[in-house]
Chains A and B, each alone.
Chain A
Amino acid sequence: MYSAEFQKSLHEVEAAREANIAYEPARMSAEDKERLLEAYHPDYKKTEFEKLQFGPNKGDVVPRELCEILQAHSRITADQIDLNDVRYDVDVLIIGGGGAGASAAIEADRAGASTMIVTKLRIGDANTMMAEGGIQAADKPNDSPAIHFLDAFGGGHFAAKRELLAKLVCDAPEAIQWLNELGVEFDKTSDGTMITTHGGGTSRKRMHAAKDYSGAEIMRTLRDEVLNRGINVVDFTAAIELILDDKGNAAGAVLMNMETKELMVARAKTVIIATGGAGRMHYQGFPTSNHYGATADGLVLGYRVGAKLLYADTLQYHPTGAAYPSQIFGALVTEKVRSLGAKLVNSEGRVFMHPLETRDVAAASIIRECSDRDKGIDTGNGKAVWLDTPMIERIGGEGTIERRIPAMMRMFANYGIDIRKEPILVYPTLHYQNGGLDINADGMTPNVENLFVAGEAVGGIHGRNRLMGNSLLDIIVFGRNAGKNAAAKSRNIEMGMLTLDHIAAFDAEREKAGVKTSAVSPRLLPDYTNRHERT
């Protein structure tokens, strides 16, 4: 139930609903999109970006908050750590217990490597667990990996590394099959046909889902498999610094127990960074859809030992974050709501864009509606637009919402809003890190030997914008890929002496560049204590 101040606008939405269902808004031309993005997308707001003064990406601009942690001090100095006191000694060390880390672990273990996952919270407390909408793969007769490639390449502004994208789309059907054979329950018709829908920017219906718990269903299955295999999972333990050997190759990590703060050394022949995204950095003050541990740690760990970032200046703001009530401010409203037919409507009840434009375009369009056009609804937390969910029941029949997006229904029902009958208020939320560490098709960073990266911590697979459903896909495809290749590589590695000399070297570079900072990183967790002003 919405309070009085929303009622007027709500009536307009209801009055226009039938007409709005029938109305098919035009898609924007390439030029329109370009202009819209430049004027309204947060990535284009120059004052929010800063130039890196030293390190592998010296001269590149990145979000201010990211710049600070990339150039920050280590949490440790080399003399605090006894590198001979090795607590864990493995072939493959995986940092991060999300979907990418778990997929990598399963494959590395299957290949016979001794494998370990360290993760900051529990395994599965991760962005993967939260994915709702689905996972793309071109497995229908009217579709092909080539069409999938084109959709993703164009959607990513023609900037993806093509060899990575080719791998993503060609390995996609097998990834779905792999998950299915592990027991992931995809939505299917009674003859086994996968139920697939559109996502923003897709030209074929290739979004596979497990209701709107797609990520949770994938994550809990992977976690179960990791545990069945007896893979060592060390939880509530963060990697806070990589360790190199004297040849400059990755050789392990310094770990910190998140509760006791004890420091430990893990030696490993190969290391896989699978630390996920950065939503909890709250770039430009945006709320976020991400899990509690999404603080770009992997980017920091990699950058300090010389790994290069690609497209770290591009973030994805999901167009439909919950804008009301305040308890779920920033939480994701899955794109599937729009795939199923709900349209975006302004304060006057007008549909102002095609609901399935790519995310960056949709986010910019909502920001325009709420700023210059002044057609937003005031929520008390800023402006927002309507997402007219009752349309779904009208189009798909009664019961569609409960069947296809039960998590959404539950999230709003908790606060007394029945999305079958009432529309919801949305505004863009910080959702995904498009950029990240650069890798080759084998999953290894080009400039640090034996350092692999998988999942949201990678940059380049999607270019400068990612389509819905391609991230769950990439964590499986590139997670497995990294696991297999790291395990294979670990067989012929002669490790040198462990060192943490890079910390002092990085400090020296900072000094030389004249950068003064008191910041330390990785950040590990956001600090929300006292976030709500005590007045």
Chain B
Amino acid sequence: MDKMVNIFLFGKKYEVPDNLTIMCAMEYAGYQLVRGCGCRNGFCGACATIYRIKGDRELKVCLACQTKVENDMYIATLPFFPLIKQVYDIENIKPEQQIMMQLYPEIYACIGCNACTKSCTQKLNVMQYIAYAQRGDFKSCAEESFDCVMCGVCSSRCPAGISHPQVAMLARRLNGKYLAPKSEHLESRVAEIKDGTYDELIEALMGKTIEEMKELYNHRDIEK
């Protein structure tokens, strides 16, 4: 038998087994989730949740699909937060500081309270990546923010109204497109294919019998 704990979903008390995640505990309690549930595995950021353990001053945040229930946990989900997403044409912007000033000027109003970092469900150094973005150091911003699931909790805690995940998104795209080194082998392969270099080889495979294909497959050499 599982040990049972008391939790409070939006203030209402339920008794649930202590080995459940918050998400499964809500279902156990009878909620059919529509919002606040996407991948169920820590990748999509749909299940941002705020909680407080009774008697504890600290307000905690987490992903409901990744966090076990505890006794006397007061839980409120945050299935949506109004982030600001600026639109831009990736082909016509440059990886320069200017673009941040233009699209997300509020990042320069950061007061350094570090509430974003403290609240990150992925334990990222959010304030640091915003600092990189301020400086136009998109490579560092991209690296520091890479594991972001865009749940939006950081932004819900920000007194300056910054939409951190969207800032990081822009930095990563700039880095991926403009700053990271180009792959020459990729470009030459694309060109070869366009030139029809492999047409004959592929054509030959299209015409072979299953027996012939098996023969080729079972004796192909495998790179170490």
In the complex, A174 Cα to B193 Cα: how many Å? 9
Find A185's partner among B1, B90, B176 (CB 8 Å cutoff).
Answer: B176
Whole-angstrom distance between the Cβ of A116 and the nearest chain B Cβ: 17
Question: Does B176 lie within 8 Å of A192, measured CB to CB?
Answer: no
Chain A residues, Cβ within 8 Å of B222: 203
Q: Flag whether A417 is at the interface (Cβ < 8 A).
A: no
Report A192-238 residues with CB < 8 Å from chain B CB. Answer: 192-194, 198, 203-205, 211, 213, 215-217, 220-221, 224-225, 227-228, 230, 236
Q: Flag whether B186 is at the interface (Cβ < 8 A).
A: yes
Whole-angstrom distance between the Cβ of B9 and the nearest chain A Cβ: 13
Chain B residues, Cβ within 8 Å of A150: 205, 213, 216-217, 220
Chain B residues, Cβ within 8 Å of A527: 32
Chain B residues, Cβ within 8 Å of A166: 202, 205-206
Report A108-155 residues with CB < 8 Å from chain B CB. Answer: 121-122, 124-126, 129-130, 137-142, 144-147, 149-151, 153-154
Whole-angstrom distance between the Cβ of B169 and the nearest chain A Cβ: 5
* Per-residue contact bits, chain B 176-212, to A (CB 8 Å; 1 contact, 0 not): 1100111111110110010000100110111000100
Chain A residues, Cβ within 8 Å of B19: 325-327
Question: Does A532 lie within 8 Å of B88, measured CB to CB?
Answer: no
Chain B residues, Cβ within 8 Å of A163: 206
Question: Does B218 lie within 8 Å of A204, measured CB to CB?
Answer: no
Question: Does A180 lie within 8 Å of B177, measured CB to CB?
Answer: yes
Given contacts A177-B190, A227-B85, A528-B27, whether A407 and B184 have CB atoms under 8 Å apart is: no
Q: Flag whether A352 is at the interface (Cβ < 8 A).
A: no
Question: Does B223 lie within 8 Å of A142, measured CB to CB?
Answer: yes
Q: Flag whether A502 is at the interface (Cβ < 8 A).
A: no
Find B214's partner among A124, A154, A174, A525 (CB 8 Å cutoff).
Answer: A154
Question: Does B186 lie within 8 Å of A228, measured CB to CB?
Answer: no
Question: Does B66 lie within 8 Å of A414, measured CB to CB?
Answer: yes
Question: Does A194 lie within 8 Å of B24, measured CB to CB?
Answer: no
* Per-residue contact bits, chain B 102-146, to A (CB 8 Å; 1 contact, 0 not): 000000000000000000001000000000000000000010001
Instruction: Name which of B41, B142, B202, B205 has the most chain A CB atoms within 10 A of its CB.
Output: B41
In the complex, A71 Cα to B201 Cα: how many Å? 43
* Per-residue contact bits, chain A 263-289, to B (CB 8 Å; 1 contact, 0 not): 000000000000000000000000001
Question: Does A173 lie within 8 Å of B193, measured CB to CB?
Answer: yes
Whole-angstrom distance between the Cβ of A480 and the nearest chain B Cβ: 14
Chain B residues, Cβ within 8 Å of A122: 38, 44, 46
In the complex, A532 Cα to B190 Cα: how many Å? 51
Q: Flag whether A350 is at the interface (Cβ < 8 A).
A: no
Question: Does B176 lie within 8 Å of A183, measured CB to CB?
Answer: yes
Chain A residues, Cβ within 8 Å of B204: 146
Report A329-366 residues with CB < 8 Å from chain B CB. Answer: 331-332
In the complex, A525 Cα to B87 Cα: how many Å? 32
In the complex, A407 Cα to B41 Cα: how many Å? 10
Whole-angstrom distance between the Cβ of B184 and the nearest chain A Cβ: 6
Question: Which residue on chain B has the smallest CB distance to residue A327?
Answer: B21
Chain B residues, Cβ within 8 Å of A193: 183, 185
Question: Does A121 lie within 8 Å of B46, measured CB to CB?
Answer: yes
Question: Does B186 lie within 8 Å of A407, measured CB to CB?
Answer: no
Chain A residues, Cβ within 8 Å of B213: 150, 153-154, 158
Q: Flag whether A184 is at the interface (Cβ < 8 A).
A: yes
Find A292's partner among B40, B182, B221 (CB 8 Å cutoff).
Answer: B40
In the complex, A279 Cα to B37 Cα: how many Å? 15
Q: Flag whether A535 is at the interface (Cβ < 8 A).
A: yes
Question: Does A230 lie within 8 Å of B198, measured CB to CB?
Answer: no
Q: Flag whether B28 is at the interface (Cβ < 8 A).
A: yes
Find A291's partner among B38, B198, B205 (CB 8 Å cutoff).
Answer: B38
Whole-angstrom distance between the Cβ of A109 and the nearest chain B Cβ: 13
* Per-residue contact bits, chain B 3-43, to A (CB 8 Å; 1 contact, 0 not): 00000000000000101110010011011111101111111
In the complex, A185 Cα to B141 Cα: how many Å? 13
In the complex, A387 Cα to B59 Cα: how many Å? 37
Find A146's partner among B17, B40, B176, B198 (CB 8 Å cutoff).
Answer: B198
Question: Does A184 lie within 8 Å of B147, measured CB to CB?
Answer: no
Given contacts A153-B217, A259-B34, A525-B34, whether A145 and B88 have CB atoms under 8 Å apart is: no
Whole-angstrom distance between the Cβ of A365 and the nearest chain B Cβ: 18
In the complex, A186 Cα to B142 Cα: how many Å? 12
Chain B residues, Cβ within 8 Å of A182: 90, 173, 176-177
Chain A residues, Cβ within 8 Å of B32: 525, 527-529
Q: Flag whether A170 is at the interface (Cβ < 8 A).
A: yes
Question: Which residue on chain A has the smallest CB distance to residue B214?
Answer: A158
Q: Flag whether A162 is at the interface (Cβ < 8 A).
A: yes
Q: Flag whether A262 is at the interface (Cβ < 8 A).
A: no
Q: Flag whether A492 is at the interface (Cβ < 8 A).
A: no
Question: Does A180 lie within 8 Å of B183, measured CB to CB?
Answer: yes
In the complex, A535 Cα to B20 Cα: how many Å? 15
Instruction: Name which of A151, A185, A203, A529 has the most chain B CB atoms within 10 A of its CB.
Output: A185
Question: Does B34 lie within 8 Å of A258, measured CB to CB?
Answer: yes
Chain A residues, Cβ within 8 Å of B58: none
* Per-residue contact bits, chain B 51-92, to A (CB 8 Å; 1 contact, 0 not): 000000000000000111000000000000000010111100
Instruction: Name which of A130, A183, A230 has the most chain B CB atoms within 10 A of its CB.
Output: A183
* Per-residue contact bits, chain B 136-169, to A (CB 8 Å; 1 contact, 0 not): 0000001000110110000000000000000001
Question: Does A183 lie within 8 Å of B177, measured CB to CB?
Answer: yes
Question: Does A183 lie within 8 Å of B173, measured CB to CB?
Answer: yes
Query: Could you list 12 further interchain pairs (A-B, Cβ under 8 angstroms) beyond the known A211-B146, A225-B90?
Result: A124-B44, A145-B202, A150-B216, A158-B214, A203-B221, A213-B146, A228-B87, A291-B40, A293-B38, A326-B19, A410-B122, A529-B32
Q: Can you list 25 A-B pairs with a CB-CB distance of less than 8 A?
A: A124-B38, A125-B46, A145-B202, A146-B198, A150-B217, A151-B220, A158-B217, A180-B177, A183-B173, A185-B172, A188-B183, A191-B181, A192-B180, A194-B185, A203-B221, A216-B44, A217-B146, A221-B172, A291-B44, A292-B39, A325-B19, A410-B42, A525-B32, A528-B27, A532-B20
Please give me the 6 A-B residue pairs with the lowest Cβ-Cβ distance, nearest first: A183-B173, A125-B38, A154-B217, A192-B181, A146-B201, A185-B176
